[in-house]
Amino acid sequence: MIRAVVDRFYANAREDELVGPVFKAAVPDQRWQAHLDTIVDFWSSVLLGTRRYDGRPLRKHLMLPELQDVQFRRWLALFRQTVEEVCPPDLAAFWVDRSERIGNSFRISVRMHNGDDVTGLRPLEREVLP
């Protein structure tokens, strides 16, 4: 199920006008499959506690200057849509919650890294996709 969500989500994300260009610039086609495998390991660790992933994901995102709130919101909306299409509702709710917690924490770190004042920053509002 993790593999199905990851494949479907990134196929959509790569074609999205806001987040697609970030992926296309940062991950060349020949590294794309390896990237997907890393993401599957990441979610396997987060959701199932398998420890298959032991990287430092935040660091990669601090190196992406084009990451702003609009990209994070879109990423999370696309992810939520994919998870809700593929998974039963209780599992989908759990997975979406995890993605939003991690996404908000990356976003705050990125904003701090860029020198923004994050005092009083509220969690990202959900974007409703058409």
CB of 90 to ligand HEM, least distance (A): 19
Q: Which long-range contacts (CB under 8 A, 24 or more apart) does 107-110 make?
A: 107/67, 107/69, 107/72, 109/58, 109/61, 109/62, 110/61, 110/62, 110/64, 110/67
Nearer to ligand HEM, 64 or 121 (CB): 64
Nearer to ligand HEM, 72 or 82 (CB): 72
Nearer to ligand HEM, 31 or 126 (CB): 31
Q: Which of 32, 33, 51 is nearest to 42 (CA)?
A: 51
Nearer to ligand HEM, 83 or 85 (CB): 83
Give contact residues for ligand HEM (rule: CB under 6 A).
Answer: 19, 22-23, 26-27, 31, 35, 38-39, 42, 55, 57, 60-61, 64, 67, 71-72, 75, 99, 102-103, 106
Helix axes 29-48, 89-113, angle to 10 degrees: 110
DSSP H or E stretch at residue 125: none
CB of 114 to ligand HEM, least distance (A): 14
CB of 71 to ligand HEM, least distance (A): 4
Contact 107, 124 (CB under 8 A): yes
User: Taking CB positions, which residue lies at the least distance from ligand HEM?
Assistant: 55
Give the three-state DSSP class for 17. Answer: coil
CB of 38 to ligand HEM, least distance (A): 5
